[in-house]
Amino acid sequence: MTIASYVFLIIGGLFFLLGGLGVLRMPDTFNRIQAGTKATTLGAFSTLIGVGLGNLDWAFKIVLIIVFIVISNPIGSSAIAKATYKSKQIPDNLVQDELANRGDAK
C-alpha cells in the first residue's frame, strides 16, 4: 500500500512540476492558463489519491477535496481567461477569433 501511495505521490509531483514549467515556458497568457490548469488539476488529483492510499480513513475527505478542486479549477481559469480577454490584453498570435464578432462584443 505504501508503494502505491508513493507512486501516486511522485506522479503528482511530476505533474505539478510540469504545471510550473508550462506556466514558465508558454509564450502567451491563454496558453499559460491552459498548461497551468490541466497539469495542476491532474497533479492535485494524483497527489491526493496517493495521500488517501497511504491512510484509508481519510478517503471521504479526500474525495470531497478532489471534487472541489476539479469543479473550481476550470471555473477559476475561465474567469481569468474572460477577464484577460475583456481587459484587451489579447495576445497577437491568434489565427482566429470568433469571440470578437459576437453581438455584444465589448
Partner 1 sequence: MKKLFAFVLTIGLGVLMIFSLRANTLFPEFGDVSIADRISALFLDKSVNGDNGDVVFGQTTDAEDGAANLVTSIVVDYRSFDTLGEVTVLFISSLGVALLLGVAGKQKRLALNFKPNFMLRVGSRALFGIILMTGVYVILHGHLTPGGGFPGGAMIASSILLLYLADDEFRTKVKGFKVLESVAGSLYVIVGLLGLVLATYFLQNFLPTGTVGDLFSAGVLPIVYVLIGLKVGSEISGIIDHFLTEGDLA
Partner 2 sequence: MKYLATFLVMFVVYLFLAGFTLDEVILGSIVSAALTLILVKFVDFRIDWKFPWKLVKFVFVYLPLFIWKLIVANFDVARRVLTPKIPLNPGIVKVKTNLKGDFGKLTLANSITLTPGTLSIDVEDDYIYVHTVDVKGQNEEENRKNISEPFEKVLGGIFK
Partner 3 sequence: MTNDILNIVVFSLLGLGVLFAVIRFIKGPKLSDRVVALDTFNMIVIGVIAVLAAVFQNSLYLDIAMVYAILAFLETVVFARYVEGKNDDNR
Contacting residues toward partner 1, per CB under 8 A: 64, 67-68, 71-72, 74-75, 78-79, 82-83, 86
The three cell numbers of residue 89 are 490584453
Nearest-angstrom CA–CA distance, 50 and 11: 9
Surface-to-core class of residue 31, CB atoms within 10 Å of its CB (0-12 exposed, 13-18 middle, 19+ buried):
middle
Among 1, 4, 56, 87, binds partner 3 (CB under 8 A): 87
Q: Which CB atom, from 11 or from 101, has the smaller least distance to partner 3?
A: 11
The verdict on 79 binding partner 3 (CB under 8 A) reads yes
Tell me, by CB under 8 A, how many residues bind partner 3: 53
3-state secondary structure 43-84: HHHHHHHHHHHHCHHHHHHHHHHHHHHHHHHHHHHHHHHHHH
The nearer residue to partner 2, 45 or 50, going by C-beta atoms, is 45
Tell whether residue 86 is a contact of partner 3 (CB under 8 A): yes
Q: Which does 10 bind (CB under 5 to 8 A by kind): partner 3, partner 1, partner 2, none?
A: partner 3
